[in-house]
Amino acid sequence: MNSFVYDIPVKVYFGENQLCHLGEELAKYGKRVLLTYGGGSIKRTGLYDAILNETRKAGLEVFELAGIEPNPRIDSVRKGAQICKDEKIDVLLAVGGGSTLDATKFMAAGACVEHDAWDFLSEKWAPIEKALPIITVLTLAATGSEMDSGGVISNPETKDKIGRLAPPMLPKVSFLDPTLTYTVSPYQTACGAADMMSHILEVYFNMEQDLYMLDCFMEGLMKTIIKYAPVAMKEPDNYEARANLMWTSSWAINGFVNGGKQQAWSCHPMEHELSAIYDITHGLGLAILTPRWMEYCLDETTVSKYVQFGVNVFGIDPALEPMAIARESIKRLSNFFFNTLGLKSTFGEVGIKSEDFPVMAQKSCAGSILPGFKPLAQHDIERIFEMCNE
Ligand code: NZQ
Ligand code: ZN
């Protein structure tokens, strides 16, 4: 058990009708606000008008950047950083899903430097020492971007999709109103559930001596996703389901579950290479990869973790043989992703071609070893990709 620092300083307004506090929170950071959003869902739902109503009441001057793409592009980040500089923006207000939030984080950092924002993510890895303050209004429960300091940005020119964490990009305040997720489609709800599940599994699957309390916490989060994602898909305006998913998305990745675990992630680096080339939905890629990765890593040295997972999360009979429990746990997880959530189950179905496996595998492990639950070399990752077609 390693020592750790607990420090998650994001103020969260959770629940319905909390937007009445938006104006006062923004005003703490200044008068000039850059409102960022995606392809228009916030206009269709009426949220855009509600936001402007609050900023008007608080006497704020609002500038806008619309059209942030799913798998957000570096060009959107560049535009936002430039607006911040030109208009002397005091605070950024990101309204949307993870893509809008992630792009806004890098705009806020880009506004504080002279160099190109891609330098934060390219091999230059420019330091992120400052960022303008960010406030978020979340509309999709999935990535946890509302409560973490990370973001993932795509560069179509270089076919890269790269993530980075930096404390200055942590939102100051996040508004989590589950009713704002009522309009999320069943498909995006399913992808969000798969993403949250993966965030937990990436940390949970770890052979270090851990805090038992954190494992129980993660098992509770996973059971929450398994219980409520199908409810939210069938009854989009079920408050209890949406609220449980929303708060789970934040806690799956806000750093709390890591505790003293020093665990490199495995499926996320692989998935980012799929999205980089094929622009597929992040949660869908993770759903296809995760059960195959688990299958590939299962052996006598790792089986105990699968037993714990299968028994505690899926209620598999602990009297069965460990290997049988482990295999059954992977089967149950696959069943959850592909039958309950209805996500496509193979690379072939989503158009990912085997000719790209070598380059995607090579980039996943940066030409060396992808550390994690089981260290993976390029040939291991290629094999996992092949299994995604079986
Ligand atoms: O763009 P709009 O019109 O808003 O539509 C979006 C988009 O088409 C729509 N949507 C969002 N809220 C909605 C809604 N539609 C109806 N009603 C609402 N209330 O949903 C679509 C997907 O949105 P997006 O923001 O792309 O989804 P998500 O939240 O899953 O974000 C995915 C991005 O986050 C990154 C992923 O790689 C991907 O680029 N991640 C960020 C992480 C982080 N910051 O820590 C960690 C994750 O592992 C992940 O990598
Ligand atoms: Zn993710």
Three-state DSSP state, 16: coil
| pLDDT of 262 | 73
Q: Are 174 and 10 in contact (CB under 8 A)?
A: yes
Return phi, psi of residue 65, to 5°.
Answer: -135, 110
Q: How far is the CA of 260 from the centre of ligand 1 (A)?
A: 29
71 lines ligand 1 (CB under 6 A): yes
| pLDDT of 169 | 98
Among residues 48, 323, 21, 22, which one has the least CA distance to residue 183?
A: 48
Say which ligand is closest to the CA of 102. 1
| pLDDT of 263 | 79
| pLDDT of 295 | 98
Q: Whose CA is nearest to atom 39 of ligand 1?
A: 71
Q: Are strands 32-36 and 91-96 parallel, antiparallel or unpaired?
A: parallel
Among residues 109, 149, 147, 151, which one has the least CA distance to residue 126?
A: 109
Task: Report the 10 Å Cβ neighbour count for 186.
Answer: 15
Query: If phi over 0 gives left and psi between -120 and 50 gives alpha, with beta otherwise, what is residue 59?
Result: left
372 lines ligand 1 (CB under 6 A): no
91 lines ligand 1 (CB under 6 A): no
Two structure tokens written together for 285: 């890629």
Q: How far is the CA of 192 from the centre of ligand 2 (A)?
A: 8
Closest ligand 1 atom, residue 145 Cα: 44
Q: Which amino acid is at 321?
A: E
| pLDDT of 210 | 73
Strand ranges for the chain from DSSP E? 11-14, 32-36, 61-65, 91-96, 134-138, 150-155, 160-165, 173-176, 369-370, 376-377
148 lines ligand 1 (CB under 6 A): yes
345 lines ligand 1 (CB under 6 A): no
| pLDDT of 292 | 98
CA distance 201 to 205: 6
266 lines ligand 1 (CB under 6 A): no
46 lines ligand 1 (CB under 6 A): no
Closest ligand 1 atom, residue 72 Cα: 39
97 lines ligand 1 (CB under 6 A): yes
Closest ligand 1 atom, residue 99 Cα: 25
99 lines ligand 1 (CB under 6 A): yes
Per-residue CA distances from 82 to 75, 115, 123, 126 (Å): 11, 11, 22, 18
Q: How far is the CA of 13 from the centre of ligand 2 (A)?
A: 23
pLDDT tens digits for the chain (390 residues)?
778 889 999 999 999 999 999 999 999 999 999 999 999 999 999 999 999 999 999 999 999 999 999 999 999 999 999 999 999 999 999 999 999 999 999 999 999 999 999 999 999 999 999 999 999 999 999 999 999 999 999 999 999 999 999 999 999 999 999 999 999 999 999 999 999 999 999 999 988 777 899 999 999 999 999 999 999 999 999 999 999 999 999 999 999 999 877 779 999 999 999 999 999 999 999 999 999 999 999 999 999 999 999 999 999 999 999 999 999 999 999 999 999 999 999 999 999 999 999 999 999 999 999 999 999 999 999 999 999 998
